[in-house]
Amino acid sequence: MCWSARHLVLRVLLFLPLVVAHEATAQETFRIQRITGSVQVDGLLDEAVWDVLTPLPLVMYEPVFRGAMTEHTEVRVGYDDNYIYAAARLGYADVALMRANSMYRDRYSGDDLFSILIDTFNDRQHGLWFATNPNGVRLDYAISNDMDYLGDSPFGQVINASWNTYWDAATSVTDEGWTAEMRIPFSGLGFQDEDGTVEMGMAVVRWIPSKAEAHVFPAIQPNWEMGWAKPSQYERVLFDGPRSSRPLYITPYVAGGSTRLSSLDDDESVYEVSSSLTGNLGGDVKVNLNSNLTLDVTLNTDFAQAEADEVQVNLSRFPLFFPEKRQFFQERAGIFEFRTLGRFGRIFHSRRIGLHDGEAIPILGGARLVGRIGRWDVGLLNMQTAPGGGLPYENFGVYRVRRSVLDANSYVGGIVTTRIGSDRTYNHVYGFDTQLRVLPKTFLIAKWAQVLSNATGLSFWEDTSGGFARLRLERRTQIGLSYTLSGTWQGQKFEPGVGFLSRTGFVNPFLVVGYGWLAGESSRVLSFRGQLLMTQYYRDSNGSLDWSYVRFDAPVTFKQGDVHVLTLEHYRENFLEPLELPENTIVPAGHYTYSTIQWNYFMSDGRRLRTDVAATVGSFYDGSNVGFELEPTWNVSRHLEVGAAYQFSRVRFPDRGDRFSVHVGRLRAQIGFSTRMSVNAFVQYNASTDLVFANLRFRYNFREGNDLWLVLNEGRNTDRQAAVPVPPVLDSRTLLLKYTHTFIR
């Protein structure tokens, strides 16, 4: 059975280009007005140029599409040779409803927002999102995969909050609401010039959290959650004669600090404490080779100021995924995407570079080239690491191209990844993929990849166990009927050296069917959606069932912003090796069938004191699991936000007399003294490891690109009585001072 399924997928992939046709659709463009006067970005909107520009025709997106906007919103957008400018007058009949909760850069805290979103290369796949709140705090995000989290990409992976660039924003609060001005340089965007004319995609959004109300331009249909952020839905806009300057950004850094670490001696009989002083020099260089290609070079790369990962407890057979937060890997990261299977499976995951089993590996340097040439997306990355964590010198390469075909939402592409060690080991992957829009909301996706590695004896075409193939048909919408039907085969030796996989060696049929609708104008409910997911994994070796999963979700969104989700899950598992869970609990190998029911409640961001709640109950292998999560957030003032999270699971196996409980706690405090000076304190506790971990980051931003960081990471042991030998109270401590300074030429 598994071999016939594999051959079916491969044959369809080979003949797919011969049987699919599609007619491209045209879309009119909107010409942005050029301004001739000067603009001082101070948030006051007192320049004469704003009276000349025509306001954009905004409409209500939600809670009622094209309903009467309850507050006055007036937005103007213009440009000159070097910048895009945006100005907004955001009125309030009652300013007490305005939310200005945070002074912390790049952290949304339930604030009022004014946003402009730009598809700079007009590829209808990628977008850059610039936003500010009434306090003048800047937030910038990168959007990939056309915001498609119904398909391959989880929601948190299509919006990259770690991306940053150079731009300006200022605001002013009055008795009638607030005003905002933005200035975005063309030099930081990247675009394609055709005979002096540049076409981009653009959307403008005002978000009123106290009313869960959004005003948008253009009039995007609410067929998707946050559909106004989908690059394919932006208005196509024209600019005449913008200049693409080529600034050179040189950003050296200097860092120093101390480290204290406790570890067992060679006999594992006693803990030894070691202390050391560290110092480091390095830097980055960024240059726009032209208007559409950006080169980044890094030397002796340091990511010490990156935010700590959230503690997770694994109650499954599959590895945990952690997102990339390091700045060097962020710009147009969506170009490098090549998804395999599951929420996080991918051929390239940048955290495999410079990190190994949670330990930082020194990065000697590297280069990254990204951009668009005509209809081609191009991404090239090469990094060199030093020995560390038991690994030799290694070179990592990722080379990705993708070409638009038929229309802007269809493409064909390829990827090559390389990982070469100084010990002569290598792991190479090549792959091809295509996405074809066969109907306005329906897409056909096909992928093939193969691993070549001397570690597993895989060579070109001689052993197909290192291969991967996938065929997928999906209709993407949250209103009306949506579906995904796919078949995937993945060989037992398909292990990309720079990728992330949850499993190998399987054939996987997959089906999702959903239906959603918008409630009436008088209803308290905004939308309802029901979705059924069914998937199975059969072992490629003998066709036996490894894992089966059925899930039904029923989210209900209310117009004031609250969301309730009811989830029913049913599992069938047949694993061949015992499963180890926390506290040395072992689940014997065998066949298991179990089910759970879960309820999630997400409170509206418009409340200054809000909380998310989740509760789970059901069977768990041959036992039971009862759990809940609580995640409150309190905006004490615009200078202070306090958040917490507590996760609890009570697992029992009465037939075997085994039991354990999981406790994970998090406490976060964000202090924004101003838009330039802030402190982030993040404390986590994991009962499974009996460890408290604290991450404290102080940042002073002198100006964009010039930052002083003080970072403290500390781990403390909480259970010192049962352990032999007894660990010290202090498990580890690192204190780092780092300064970066950007020279612009």
Query: CA nearest 349: which of 498, 490, 497?
Result: 498
Tens digit of pLDDT for each residue in 268-289?
778 888 888 988 899 999 998 8
**AA identity, residue 334:** G
Model confidence at 62: pLDDT above 70: yes
Give the Cα separation of 189 and 165 in Å (integer).
9
Tens digit of pLDDT for each residue in 171-205?
999 999 999 999 999 988 888 888 788 999 999 99
- Looking at residue 705, its pLDDT comes to 86
Model confidence at 384: pLDDT above 80: yes
- Looking at residue 24, its pLDDT comes to 36
Mean pLDDT along residues 74-100: 95
- Map tokens 């100005």 to a residue: 87
Mean pLDDT along residues 632-643: 95
Which of 364-378, 450-464, 623-637 is predicted least confidently? Answer: 450-464
Phi then psi for residue 147, to 5 deg, are 60, 25
Strand 271-290 and strand 159-160: the pairing is unpaired
- Mean pLDDT of all residues in the chain? 88
> Which segments of 218-369 does DSSP mark as H helices, in order?
none
- Looking at residue 19, its pLDDT comes to 36
Half-sphere exposure of 552 (CA within 13 A, CB side): 6
Model confidence at 651: pLDDT above 70: yes
Give the Cα separation of 743 and 741 in Å (integer).
7
Query: CA nearest 490: which of 345, 288, 360, 620?
Result: 345
Q: Could you tell me which residue, 466 or 473, shows the higher pLDDT?
A: 473
Give the Cα separation of 145 and 160 in Å (integer).
11
Mean pLDDT along residues 46-74: 94
Give the Cα separation of 372 and 103 in Å (integer).
35
11 pLDDT band (50/70/90 cuts)?
Answer: very low
- Looking at residue 25, its pLDDT comes to 37
- What's the sign of the alpha-carbon dihedral 571, 577, 579, 585? positive
Inter-residue contact 540 to 489 (CB < 8 Å)? yes
- Looking at residue 18, its pLDDT comes to 37
Mean pLDDT along residues 12-37: 56
Predicted TM-score of the model (pTM):
0.85
- Looking at residue 28, its pLDDT comes to 59
The C-alpha R_g of the chain, in whole angstroms, comes to 26
Give the Cα separation of 103 and 678 in Å (integer).
8
Q: Could you tell me which residue, 192 or 505, shows the higher pLDDT?
A: 505
Give the Cα separation of 163 and 127 in Å (integer).
12
Mean pLDDT along residues 64-68: 94
Q: What is the SS3 assignment for 351?
A: helix
Give the Cα separation of 236 and 222 in Å (integer).
18
Q: What is the SS3 assignment for 513?
A: strand
Mean pLDDT along residues 468-476: 95
Model confidence at 12: pLDDT above 70: no
Query: CA nearest 670: which of 112, 136, 102?
Result: 102
- Map tokens 């503690």 to a residue: 311
Give the Cα separation of 618 and 616 in Å (integer).
7
Q: Which two tokens stand for residue 269?
A: 């009989």
342 pLDDT band (50/70/90 cuts)?
Answer: confident
- Map tokens 């600090």 to a residue: 257
Query: CA nearest 610: which of 635, 646, 592, 629?
Result: 635
Model confidence at 414: pLDDT above 90: yes
490 pLDDT band (50/70/90 cuts)?
Answer: very high
- Kindly give, in sequence order, each residue whose CB lies less than 8 Å from that of residue 57, ignoring residues fewer than 6 positions away: 217, 218, 219
7 pLDDT band (50/70/90 cuts)?
Answer: very low
Model confidence at 216: pLDDT above 70: yes
Query: CA nearest 138: which of 156, 172, 115, 110?
Result: 115
- Looking at residue 475, its pLDDT comes to 94
Give the Cα separation of 120 and 142 in Å (integer).
11
Q: Could you tell me which residue, 246 or 426, shows the higher pLDDT?
A: 426
Model confidence at 26: pLDDT above 60: no
User: In this prediction, what percent of the chain has a pLDDT beyond 90?
Assistant: 64
- Looking at residue 530, its pLDDT comes to 95
Half-sphere exposure of 499 (CA within 13 A, CB side): 30
Task: Tell me the β-bridge partners of 75.
Answer: 88
- Looking at residue 458, its pLDDT comes to 63
367 pLDDT band (50/70/90 cuts)?
Answer: very high
Inter-residue contact 429 to 416 (CB < 8 Å)? yes
Give the Cα separation of 439 and 337 in Å (integer).
23
CA 453 from chain centre, in angstroms, equals 30
Mean pLDDT along residues 90-107: 93
Model confidence at 16: pLDDT above 60: no
Which of 126-135, 296-305, 383-392, 679-688 is predicted least confidently? Answer: 296-305
Mean pLDDT along residues 465-492: 93
Give the Cα separation of 184 and 206 in Å (integer).
18
- Looking at residue 440, its pLDDT comes to 87
- Looking at residue 457, its pLDDT comes to 66
Give the Cα separation of 402 and 336 in Å (integer).
9
Mean pLDDT along residues 653-677: 93
Model confidence at 311: pLDDT above 90: no
13 pLDDT band (50/70/90 cuts)?
Answer: very low
Model confidence at 551: pLDDT above 70: yes
Mean pLDDT along residues 327-346: 82
4 pLDDT band (50/70/90 cuts)?
Answer: very low
Q: Which two tokens stand for residue 177?
A: 């609401």
Tens digit of pLDDT for each residue in 139-166?
999 898 888 765 444 444 688 887 888 8
User: In this prediction, what percent of the chain has a pLDDT beyond 70?
Assistant: 93
- Looking at residue 622, its pLDDT comes to 94
Q: Which domains does the chain have, with CATH numbers?
A: 32-240 (2.60.40.1190)
Strand 442-453 and strand 426-439: the pairing is antiparallel
As to burial, measured by CB atoms within 10 angstroms (0-12 exposed, 13-18 middle, 19+ buried), residue 274 is exposed
- Looking at residue 274, its pLDDT comes to 87
Model confidence at 695: pLDDT above 90: yes
Q: Could you tell me which residue, 422 or 311, shows the higher pLDDT?
A: 422
